[in-house]
Amino acid sequence: MTKNKSKRPICMEEYVTINGISQYLYHLGTNVDNPVMLFLHGGPGSVESLFTRAFQEKWEEIYTVVHWDQRGAGKTLTKNPDTLPTIDLLLQDLYELIQYLKTKYDKEKIVILGHSWGSVLGSVFIRKYPQEAAYYIGVGQVVNMLENEQVGYNKLLEMIEQSGDEKSKKKLQSIGEYPGNQIVFEREFLKKCNKVRKLQGKYNLAMKIDLSIWITVFKSPIFRFSDIVAFMKIFRANAHLHRFLGDFNLRDEKAEYEVPIYYILGGNDWQTPYVIAQKYFEEIEAPNKGIYVIPEAGHMTMMDQPDLFFEALMEINKREILKK
């Protein structure tokens, strides 16, 4: 189990049987009376439990934060290499996990934060089980996957043309039509998507997977070499989820929610373009809602501007406490 170098009163790794399989949880916090926040990572399959040191320390003053390596991801995938996720399985996993956390911490409801793919899972879940969530925070909020790619591509083209970067323009043109009329996560689309992401990374429009990211991972107190093996398997493991994600569109239903909705968006995030979530947010009807656009922050919003992100969290926390 993890060494508690941070001297946190709550600092624990555990495997819990959820929906028939052993699933990994990482708990960090300072006070059991604080609200419990469940962090839903991106991907599908890209665990963020390994990044906690880079952004989370202050959060733990106001929340007990629980990271869950989802089915098909990280340490849960390592334990269960043949038990692969579908959206229905993940929703059931999430429901059972929340029951476990409510009992463990003696809470009526759990705060859900969804990042990127986690914002898809979280948004679907709170519609299905609104009674389980105290409130929802979307970060790198996905509204419509096809629109995401169209808007992100157009922004990239605009930036390349503004800078007169002929080399990058040629690379972008060599990709051909993108993203097309429908997103199907097969080899051809992925090759194009990877090229677009690399160019977006060059212009700070998308997350860069560079040395600094890997250094953060290697320094994590919970890092194991098996995590790298799991990372290399995530695309195959999450094939069913990619099919769901390709067609995902929050606008298929009315923007009506029974739980408070908060969005914290990176003002420089063009991987899940913040302008799309901003526009959708205006349509949302919810018991309470708030939006925070963090300047100079990209897709990894909480890592790019940890202090400003924490200020937004504090304000959300205060609003919800005052409401009670």
Distance of CA 45 to the CA centre of its chain: 10
Q: Is residue 186 part of a domain?
A: yes
Using the predicted structure, report yes or no on whether residue 1 has a pLDDT greater than 50: no
Closest by alpha carbon to 65, among 6, 120, 21, 116? 6
Q: Is residue 290 part of a domain?
A: yes
Count Cα neighbours of 116 within 13 Å in the Cβ-side half-sphere. 20
Q: Which tokens belong to 72?
A: 């098909």
Q: Is residue 212 part of a domain?
A: no
**132 lies in the same domain as 169:** no
Average pLDDT, the chain: 94
Q: Which tokens belong to 318?
A: 């205060």
Q: Is residue 277 part of a domain?
A: yes
d(CA 295, CA 269): 10
pLDDT category of residue 49 using cuts at 50, 70 and 90: very high
**41 lies in the same domain as 27:** yes
d(CA 44, CA 27): 21
User: Looking up tokens 């930036």, which residue turns up?
Assistant: 159
d(CA 203, CA 199): 7
Strand order across the beta sheet in which 110-115 lies: 10-18, 21-29, 64-69, 36-40, 110-115, 133-139, 261-266, 289-294
Q: Is residue 1 part of a domain?
A: no
**14 lies in the same domain as 109:** yes
Q: Which tokens belong to 150?
A: 């169209």
Residue 5: what pLDDT? 58
Residue-range definition of the domain harbouring residue 164 = 147-202
Residue 211: what pLDDT? 82
Per-position DSSP letters for 149-206, written without gaps between them = HHHHHHHHHHHHHHHT-HHHHHHHHHH-S-S-SS---SHHHHHHHHHHHHHHHHTTSS
User: Looking up tokens 């089915």, which residue turns up?
Assistant: 71
Counting beta carbons within 10 angstroms of the beta carbon of residue 152, is it exposed (0 to 12), middle (13 to 18) or buried (19 or more)?
A: buried
**37 lies in the same domain as 66:** yes
Count Cα neighbours of 18 within 13 Å in the Cβ-side half-sphere. 26
Asked if 52 and 107 count as a contact pair (C-beta separation under 8 A), the reply is no
**71 lies in the same domain as 126:** yes
* C-alpha torsion angle, residues 274, 272, 254, 263 (rounded to 10): -50
pLDDT category of residue 186 using cuts at 50, 70 and 90: confident
- β-partners of residue 11 are 28
Percent of the chain's residues with pLDDT above 90: 87
Residue 108: what pLDDT? 97
Q: Is residue 216 part of a domain?
A: no
**241 lies in the same domain as 119:** yes
**225 lies in the same domain as 291:** yes
Q: Which amino acid is at 143?
A: V
- Give 4-38 pLDDT, tens digit per residue: 556 789 999 999 999 999 999 999 999 999 999 99
**15 lies in the same domain as 96:** yes
Q: Assign residue 70 the CATH number of its domain.
A: 3.40.50.1820
When divided into structural domains, the chain yields a total of 2
- Give 248-302 pLDDT, tens digit per residue: 999 999 999 999 999 999 999 999 999 999 999 999 999 999 999 999 999 999 9
pLDDT category of residue 187 using cuts at 50, 70 and 90: confident
Q: Is residue 177 part of a domain?
A: yes
**262 lies in the same domain as 283:** yes
In this structure, are strands 133-139 and 261-266 parallel, antiparallel, or unpaired?
Answer: parallel
**138 lies in the same domain as 153:** no
**175 lies in the same domain as 275:** no
Q: Is the pTM of this model over 0.85?
A: yes
Asked if 290 and 225 count as a contact pair (C-beta separation under 8 A), the reply is no
Range with the largest mean pLDDT of 67-76, 181-190, 238-247:
67-76
Q: Is residue 83 part of a domain?
A: yes
Q: What is the CA radius of gyration of the chain?
A: 19
**17 lies in the same domain as 77:** yes
Percent of the chain's residues with pLDDT above 70: 98
- Give 221-263 pLDDT, tens digit per residue: 999 999 999 999 998 999 999 999 999 999 999 999 999 999 9
Conformational region of residue 140, where left means phi above 0, alpha means psi within -120 to 50, and beta covers everything else: left
